[in-house]
Structure 1
């Protein structure tokens, strides 16, 4: 609760107490009005009614200011108004003989509570001064006397002044001490709260707490970063609104109270662990690992739950990339061995057919047609073997500075003028996209990706190639250059999305299944990342991230 909210809350709570006192004064005035034979003058009664009206008016004004103005600056206004009201009441009800002098004591205590120890001293001095002026002013005759019984005797005035002054000072001292202790306690609580908040905000995991009603009650800074929501957005939300999969998880039970069920049923002190899928505010799908435990009060009774979670998306991606690399490495070694074993007899076969064709010029047309078929198929097989070797061992990367702007613009021109004249390729490149790498291998990477994008779309397909710099904090600690190639094709079905980089996997009738596998190997050899995003019917986006070269 901030200072504005705290001031508003205190002002509203004081409203009820002040209203009660005004009602008592109202009752007194009404009683005096009804007992017309008690000797009260008309001026006394009118003064009391005026004070009742003023008291009600001030109370309503305070309440409106507290509710609609936030209560800022209100304590000083209240103290001044209350002091004037109390002084008027004491003056109109007999001054030194008034039964309402005790209200000054309440005023002093109220000042200490609302505005601190210094305010108690100031209000005590003010009460003494005003009461003294009231007493001696009526005694000296320069203030009119409202009391129908006349002016009190000098001894009575001195006794009233002395007792009231001692009471004011004593209460002020006690209120001052109490206010100082409260201030010290509040400072300590504030410091503890700040330390607690800093600890929670610096935890490297997302952390939130929920009440027994399954509503979020706190949300730390890492939770804000992972989910994309600020704490102001989600405080008060049902947990299921933020984590639908968590609420529906069988691990957590079904129904309206999944958190409670896990806290009661799980072992290890009410601790449960698991993984869930989650879409953040930017609609990016993440995999979160979580642990859920019971939040207990000082008596050990459960009052909610604590949920700690981490974004495991990148970790799982790295694990999958490692498994894929191991599989591809094994397949690559096998492919390389087979390719070498096939290539030698294939070269002999191709050479023998060429010799036969040249030595037998008079061969019949049917035999010549068969020879051409053999030559064509041996050529196709040789190209396939070359693809095997290219995939199995792209060779050592001879690094040099490569300006991707020039390379990508050249590919776009080749597509439009030669390979795919109908292709519509749009380049959106930031200036000076420089990387370290082998220009021939990188050209092969982007050529394969752009060709796949062209072949994936129909007549209205647009290929967009975007290039941009990626800051170090967004790219695992080192600056990168990202090239995104996206199309408007049919997309890749979810069931085969994880297999597109596997060797020999293809959906094309005449494909070898080595194009994207080779792309993946080359990008990995350059220390880069290959990120694929596709949904059936919505097109495909491939992002290639490569280490940036210093400019």
Structure 2
């Protein structure tokens, strides 16, 4: 659209057409010239000390009044007229007649105003084609030559009060006509050449302006649609540009980061340390506008002007948070597979001797001759053997969970049953439960595995709170989410990536398989486990189960 508009204007100028704005200025300067002319005439009259006005003054005033009236009418017509070329030609024709009349009343061959023809020819060259400029020069020659010929042969009418030279020699007329006509055409030739060159320069400039405009629009579109964040840092270490992707990644708008120090916004990003630092590839963990941690991969390169002067640093960055989370999940899955292979090879080898030990000790305990001290030692052996058996069972559930059987279950009722069950457990004596779900919430889950995952989360919450606090249970069947939130101290950021690893625990008597088992069984059902900070500062675990096709 811009190209068509500029191309139309360019074509109009190529053909010698004038714009309405140019013609408006032309009419303005015409009136300004007349006012200056009259002012100069009046001042001359006053300073000359003449007893009576010059006889030509009334005619000059008449010509000036007619020209001003014509300019006013032309200005009014300019708003509605469509044929600007014809309008322009009419203005030039009027100016030629005005100049001829001015020369006539100021003495004909003795008049100094023949130079007005040159000004009119130059003005015509600005608005018209080269051919039309030569027409204006020809018309000037005809009008001026006819005026002098009439004066020479005595046919020029004598206006009242005016006196024309009576004796005009043939050589004077010929010389005046020759010099002025030569000047008219020479002026037309030079004006045409200069105006043509000016128009070509304007056309080239307009084409380049269009190209720059399109490039600027293209650059703006690319910056707005590119997926990577782009940031320009000036030599003083302040942010000067921030594209839409950068705002989407960090949450900051351009207005919020403009002219702020890059070290203040992203402290760990090593792109400025008293000077700009190009970086080929690096990663950094930063906080977004809302306080969330994000992992950014970034690179930085210098931006230079055509004179190779540094303008700043272009920093490109991508949000790697999701990729890092996926990488962690893959590593965890690899560890799970390795542990599963180990468990399948050693489960029977451990369980069989353990069962033999436990059974043998129990038989020895039935002997009446066993002393009380030895009996207590045997009870310890049996108890620890049972604990090892339970640990092995948990380990096998984590390492090799049975294939889930997903069925639409009433998860609301399952949560109610769990609360009733744990209320009878001494570990939950001083734990209050809050429920954020409506009855009848159904989700596709394996009831046994899902119940085990939820029980592990409840036990973990009670232990984290030291047996005192509140546990919030929530359910959103439409989103396929169940969450468990406690009022404990929460989980420090430095260990959040390790809590799902097997055998990692912060408890003195913990096995490190509770949360690992939760992660394993939910992953077996095709879901995911997300850890976040609860509303009361504790930990919030969200079990996300994908909805099956209805």
Query: Hey, what does 1:197 align to over in structure 2?
Result: 220
Aligned partner of residue 456 in structure 2, secondary structure: helix
CA deviation after TM superposition for structure 1 residue 305, in Å: 2.1
Q: Is the 8 A contact 1:127 1:168 kept in 2?
A: no
Which position in structure 1 is the counterpart of 2:401? 394
Q: Quote the residue 1:49 is aligned against.
A: none
Task: Please state how far the C-alpha of 1:308 moved relative to its aligned partner.
Answer: 1.5
How far off its partner does 1:462 sit? 3.2
How many Å separate the matches in 1 of 2:447 and 2:421? 16
After TM superposition, the structure 1 = structure 2 runs for residues 288-437 of structure 1, keeping only pairs within 5 Å, are: 288-355=296-363, 360=368, 372-402=379-409, 404-415=411-422, 420-429=428-437, 436-437=444-445
| Structure 2 counterpart of 1:274, from 282, 286, 300 | 282
Q: What is the Cα deviation at residue 367 of structure 1?
A: 6.0
Within 1, Cα distance between the matches of 2:445 and 2:410?
10
> What TM-score comes out, normalization by structure 1 length?
0.62
1:214 aligns with 2:237: yes
Counterparts of 1:218-237 in structure 2, within 5 Å, are 218-237=241-260
Partner Cα distance (2:23, 2:37) in 1: 22
Paired residues of 2:241 and 2:254 also in contact (CA < 8 A): yes
Correspondence for 2:266: 243
Change (3 A) 1:528 1:81: same
Q: 1:165 to 1:300 in 2, by over 3 A?
A: same
Counterpart Cα distance in 2 of 1:355 and 1:500 = 41
| 1:300–1:373 CA distance, 2 compared to 1 (3 A) | closer
Aligned to 1:172: 127
CA distance 1:418–1:375, change in 2 (3 Å): closer
CA distance in 2: counterparts of 1:359 and 1:460, whole angstroms = 44
* Residue 511 of structure 2: aligned partner: 512
Deviations 1:416-450 (A, max 9, x none): 57662532333445999765442211221122113
Could you say which residue in structure 2 is the equivalent of 1:94? 37
Contact 1:132 1:161 in 2 (8 A): no
Q: In the aligned structure 2, how far is the partner of 1:431 from the partner of 1:181?
A: 76
Partner SS state of residue 349, structure 2: helix
User: Contact conserved, 2:413 with 2:439, CA < 8 A, in 1?
Assistant: no
The normalised TM-score by structure 2 is 0.62
SS of 1:274's equivalent in the other structure is strand
Partner Cα separation in structure 1 for residue 330 and residue 512 of structure 2: 20
Cα distance 1:442–1:80, how it changes in 2: closer, same or farther (>3 A)? farther
Q: What CA distance in whole angstroms lies between the structure 1 residues aligned with 2:266 and 2:500?
A: 32
SS in 2 for 1:245: coil
Deviations 1:85-124 (A, max 9, x none): 75664343226989xx9xxxxxxxxxxxxxxxx99x9799
CA contact (8 A) 1:96 1:152 kept: no
How far apart in 1 are the matches of 2:441 and 2:32?
82
8 Å contact kept, 2:434–2:473? yes
Judged with a 3 Å threshold, the aligned counterparts in structure 2 of structure 1 residues 482 and 296 are, in CA distance, closer, same or farther, namely farther
- Residue matched to 2:54: none
Aligned in 2, Cα 1:491/1:123: closer, same or farther, shift over 3 Å? farther
Question: Judging changes above 3 Å, is the alpha-carbon distance between structure 1 residues 338 and 301 closer, same or farther for their aligned structure 2 residues?
Answer: same
How many angstroms apart in 1 are the aligned matches of 2:365 and 2:505?
Answer: 35
Q: In 2 relative to 1, CA 406–94 (structure 1 residues): closer, same or farther, beyond 3 Å?
A: farther
Instruction: Decide whether the 8 Å contact of 2:92 with 2:120 is kept in 1.
Output: no
Give the CA deviation at 1:287: 1.6
Inter-partner Cα distance in structure 2 for 1:81 and 1:380:
101
* Structure 2, gaps ≥5 residues long: 3-19, 42-63, 65-79, 129-194
Aligned-residue CA RMSD in angstroms? 4.8
Provide the aligned length of Structure 1 versus Structure 2. Answer: 424
Q: Deviations 1:385-425 (Å, cap 9, x if unpaired)? A: 22222222112222334454444454345445766253233
Shift of 1:242: 2.9
